[in-house]
Amino acid sequence: MTSSTSQPGWTAITILVGRLIFLAFFTMAFSVKFMDINGTAGYIAFAGFPVPTALAWLAVIFEVLLVLGFLTGAYFAETCLLAGLYVTFLGLTFHGPSYWQGEVGQHEFRAFLMHFTMLAGLLFAAAHGPGRILASRKTIIGRYPA
């Protein structure tokens, strides 16, 4: 079925639920960072990045913008692709192979896998669009499926 008007109702609902899951995930992410911005900066510094406080605030701002994209559906493919690059970067940088040793290694490996699972969902969502419920369908990179 290629037309959104001919899709069964459950399809539109599942797309909306997927958007809400992405929305909740990134809302929790920026909230945790915002509530302990110094802890976030410390984590960034531990990974070896310069100006950790500025990077912590940039991460909060970026995640708020992602939340707005998932909430409205505007520039949804772009939001999904940027979020995919972001979670890939985070997975490699903060949970990559150099963290898989020792007592926390298994936990870090699972966190790494979670980031790539999220990437898969984001790529799928980027390809299929924000759905037809509560979605602005503005985009820069192309048309969504009808």
- Residue 144 inside a domain? The answer is no
Long-range CB contacts (within 8 A, 24+) of 22-27 = 22/66, 22/70, 22/80, 22/83, 22/121, 22/122, 22/125, 23/67, 23/70, 23/71, 25/118, 26/63, 26/66, 26/67, 26/70, 26/83, 27/67
- Residue 46 inside a domain? The answer is yes
- Residue 94 inside a domain? The answer is yes
Taking the model in full, what pTM does it have? 0.85
Q: Write down the pLDDT at residue 79.
A: 96
- Residue 3 inside a domain? The answer is no
Give per-residue pLDDT as tens, 118-140.
999 999 999 988 888 877 767 67
Give per-residue pLDDT as tens, 37-92.
999 999 999 999 999 999 999 999 999 999 999 999 989 999 999 999 999 999 99
- Residue 137 inside a domain? The answer is no
Overall number of domains in the chain:
1
Full domain range(s) for residue 62: 9-128
- Residue 136 inside a domain? The answer is no
